Structure 1
Amino acid sequence: MSVAGTASPGWRTPLVIVLCGCTISMIAFGPRSAMGLFLTPLSNEHGWSREVFALSLAIQNLVWGLGQPLFGAIADRYGEARVMVLGAFLYAAGLALTASAGSPFVLHLASGVLIGLGIAGSAFALVIAAFGKLLPAESRSWAFGIGMASGSLGQFVFAPLGQAFIGSFGWQNALYLFAVIALAIPFLAIGLRAPARGQAVAGQTFGQAISEAFGHRSYLLLVSGFFVCGFQVAFITVHMPAYLNDIGMPAYLGAWSLAVIGLFNVVGAYSAGILGGRMPKRSILCWIYGLRSLAIAAFIMMPASPASVLTFSAVIGLLWLSTVPPTSGLVAVMFGPRYMGTLFGIVFLSHQLGSFIGVWLGGYAYARLGSYDLFWWLAIAMGAFAAIVHYPIREAPVARLAPAE
């Protein structure tokens, strides 16, 4: 395996690049995936309704999405490693400030704005962009899959770890410990400091790349479909522990449900990356969204028990962020790796707009209706919509790249 577009600088071999990127993905995705564990203790501590913290996490998802194209554009120019250093410090500051927030405004600033920007500048979207530029084309789909699987492994590790920290040290100290762990990212980013130049795109400027993407029907369909992924994933991540408490399940089950989702997503994301190199990526996405709707419908219609919760978590975990490897792979196929940080960042913005609505509106609906039932059915309907939207996507390079391919 050789690094695409540049010689490997000494010890920064492709293996080192993949290992560092995967570890960054795991650390960056871990704490934010466990934030739902803090919903109840933080709200009870301050006497706030669930809607307050839910709004903070909704703002986090929105800021993450808005920041992703910006950080992606900066990374396309200066390299992902430099951006990750800034992102890690913002992430750690947001986690620490969340622990000491004394008002909803400070909580929104910390959990919403700072953590959102921190994740945008350090998480898997930039890792995937770096892999797209630094690894050869034949290895990209596999690398995208293992990069996303590593983020899922972070969810598996940090959900029970967060619960253990909360039980042993209190929820505030648990957040401080998460902040310290996030500060490992700048050191790992050194492994991604190889020149972040993709294949040359003669005569194409940044503005032309954006214009080309928004004039491409398949790209717009991809953007609209990824909105649904964000809606479903964020709603379940944040509200699942509280939902299980509401229906009489033990408190530990919320943490373990998130952990099982993360564990099985390691398998799902990696498998999606492998399959993306062997079958149409749009077909993979159609199946994922369709099966998600079936899994959610079965879960809410079955009698609730620890066994049904963990079974659902395992199934939905296989379908969780396994959407990311084929989605990012389609962006690379259509437009090449040169502006992948920006173009995948825009697709991811749609994901985070869905996340914002899923998290905030889920909390709002619960506050008004006292139940999550309506939202579960909405998630089912949107999954069916996404399965339909991805079917017409054309998996081929744009005309500009077709002769080279």
Structure 2
Amino acid sequence: MSTANSKRFAFPLSPTTLVIIAGALILSAAMGIRQTFGLFIEPFSFDRGLPVTLIAFAIALHNLVWGFAQPFAGAAADRYGSAPVVAFGATTFAAGLGIAAVAPSGPMLIVGMGLLVGIGVSCTTFGVVLPAVGRIASPEKRSMAMGLVSAGGSAGQVLMIPLTQSIRLSSGIATSLFALAFVMLLVAPLGMVLDRRQRAGMFVQEPPAAPLRKVLGEALRHRGYRLLTLGFFTCGFQLAFIATHLPEYLTLCHMPIGLGATALALIGLFNMAGSWGCGWLGGRFRQHYVLGWLYLIRSVTIGAFFLLPKTSTSVVVFAAVMGLTWLGTVPLTSGLVAKVFGTRHLGSLFGVCFLSHQIGSFLGAWLGGLVFDLTGSYSLLWEATMVAGLIAAMLHFPIDDKTVVTPAIRSEPAGA
């Protein structure tokens, strides 16, 4: 009787579902925390006397370090599994936040929030998490699964921004950063769940990972991969500029105090629907076409927000539309790489593509602070983000997404 009842009320989760949940939690912590950094520009400048340019450089540097470390983090996860990579990344991320919490000077802030956080993010976000999801999901459901993980990861932005703002206002910079470091340590063991498929023996037909240089060399000869990589630069440039400088920009526009944090939280909230929706669209339409339209919509939204009068309503509308197009590029881009080249080296190939994204992120965050210090205005950067989006759209439409079969790259049947 008890056995029958236990079976009746048991709700076993499939390996795919467990990987999606674990991936979403890891992304929620890592992406949610890094989206709070814009909230620290004013207090670091006011309380510790640091120049806005230096703070923006530290935030920008973590994007650049993330980009350069991502191919290696992805290759390590391809070869050794996600568990050690996520554990190392979460610990390094937490250490960087701890150093930033007590940093009395610019160099320490750069080491903590720039160098260590960048390494940690590379091991706990898209380049490690999405390939694990892509390998366990069936090809026809891969884009949707990646979209679900990205959508779940957006919950961190919704939760972390108001939580961090509340702790910072009540207890100060150091306490809020230490609290974020503790959150990263909590997700460190979840990498073991991402390797569930490997432990179950589902990788037995896959050959050993090929050297990164050989895999990358074959991918770079593909025109579509080059266009995708160039276009991904724009995504990083736009998102990093907005996430880092939107709160300060709204302050300059005499908007209500706290509206910047609200806008960032709304972006995260609507990104949950946007990431899922882009993953759904990517499973039904050609992914590079969806990417092209996404960049067009984003650029029109940025242009309208910059040119029209600023009101609380316009800020909320801007945040909602940007949220719908925010990280939807990630499941679409990684899904397109998987469609063309397969999943065996997805971590490596997406990592190299993501490097372009992070170079854009570095420039978006850093140039925002530099241009503001030089001109006292963000106008030039708003115009640049709009134009860059239009260029990115034009780069994505002509991409050839036919499956490529090469010995070094693919391990699954052509057309799978």
Q: Distance in 1 between matches of 2:31 and 2:210?
A: 33
Are 2:212 and 2:348, in contact at CA under 8 Å, matched by a contact in 1? Answer: no
Q: Which residue of 1 aligns with 2:279?
A: 273
Q: Secondary structure at the match of 1:184?
A: helix
How do 1:42-61 residues align onto structure 2 when only pairs under 5 Å count? 42-61=44-63
Q: 1:201 to 1:283 in 2, by over 3 A?
A: farther
How many residue pairs get matched? 396
Q: Which residue of 1 aligns with 2:176?
A: 174
How do 1:110-129 residues align onto structure 2 when only pairs under 5 Å count? 110-129=112-131
Cα displacement (A) at 1:212: 1.0
Are 2:82 and 2:192, in contact at CA under 8 Å, matched by a contact in 1? Answer: no
Per-residue Cα deviation, 1:218-270 (whole angstroms, up to 9, x for no partner): 00000000000000000000000010111111221010000000111111110
Are 1:84 and 1:186, in contact at CA under 8 Å, matched by a contact in 2? Answer: yes
Are 2:15 and 2:197, in contact at CA under 8 Å, matched by a contact in 1? Answer: no
Segments of 5+ residues of structure 1 without an aligned counterpart are 1-9
How do 1:216-231 residues align onto structure 2 when only pairs under 5 Å count? 216-231=222-237
Q: Distance in 2 between matches of 1:26 and 1:135?
A: 20
Q: Distance in 1 between matches of 2:223 and 2:205?
A: 24
Q: Which residue of 1 aligns with 2:7?
A: none
Cα displacement (A) at 1:35: 0.6
Q: Which residue of 1 aligns with 2:414?
A: 404
Q: Distance in 1 between matches of 2:413 and 2:154?
A: 37
Residue number among 322, 329, 335 corresponding to 1:316 in the alignment: 322
Are 2:341 and 2:404, in contact at CA under 8 Å, matched by a contact in 1? Answer: yes
Q: Distance in 2 between matches of 1:159 and 1:120?
A: 21
Cα displacement (A) at 1:185: 1.4
1:381 matches 2:387:
yes
Q: Which residue of 2 aligns with 1:191?
A: 193
1:343 matches 2:349:
yes
Alignment TM-score, normalising by the size of structure 1: 0.94
Q: 1:388 to 1:272 in 2, by over 3 A?
A: same
Segments of 5+ residues of structure 2 without an aligned counterpart are 1-11
Q: 1:270 to 1:247 in 2, by over 3 A?
A: same
- The one-letter amino acid paired with 1:139 is K
Are 1:269 and 1:321, in contact at CA under 8 Å, matched by a contact in 2? Answer: yes
Quote the RMSD (CA, aligned, Å): 1.8
Cα displacement (A) at 1:199: 6.0
Cα displacement (A) at 1:11: 7.6
Are 1:198 and 1:338, in contact at CA under 8 Å, matched by a contact in 2? Answer: no
Cα displacement (A) at 1:202: 8.9
Cα displacement (A) at 1:200: 2.9
Residue number among 342, 346, 364 corresponding to 1:358 in the alignment: 364
Q: 1:205 to 1:357 in 2, by over 3 A?
A: closer
- The one-letter amino acid paired with 1:323 is T
Q: 1:397 to 1:185 in 2, by over 3 A?
A: same
Q: Which residue of 1 aligns with 2:147?
A: 145
Q: Distance in 2 between matches of 1:66 and 1:297?
A: 31
Q: Distance in 1 between matches of 2:413 and 2:20?
A: 30
- The one-letter amino acid paired with 2:401 is E
Q: Which residue of 1 aligns with 2:71?
A: 69
Cα displacement (A) at 1:203: 9.9
Alignment TM-score, normalising by the size of structure 2: 0.92
Residue number among 310, 330, 336 corresponding to 1:330 in the alignment: 336
Per-residue Cα deviation, 1:316-340 (whole angstroms, up to 9, x for no partner): 1111111111100110011100000
Are 1:28 and 1:124, in contact at CA under 8 Å, matched by a contact in 2? Answer: no
Q: Secondary structure at the match of 1:180?
A: helix
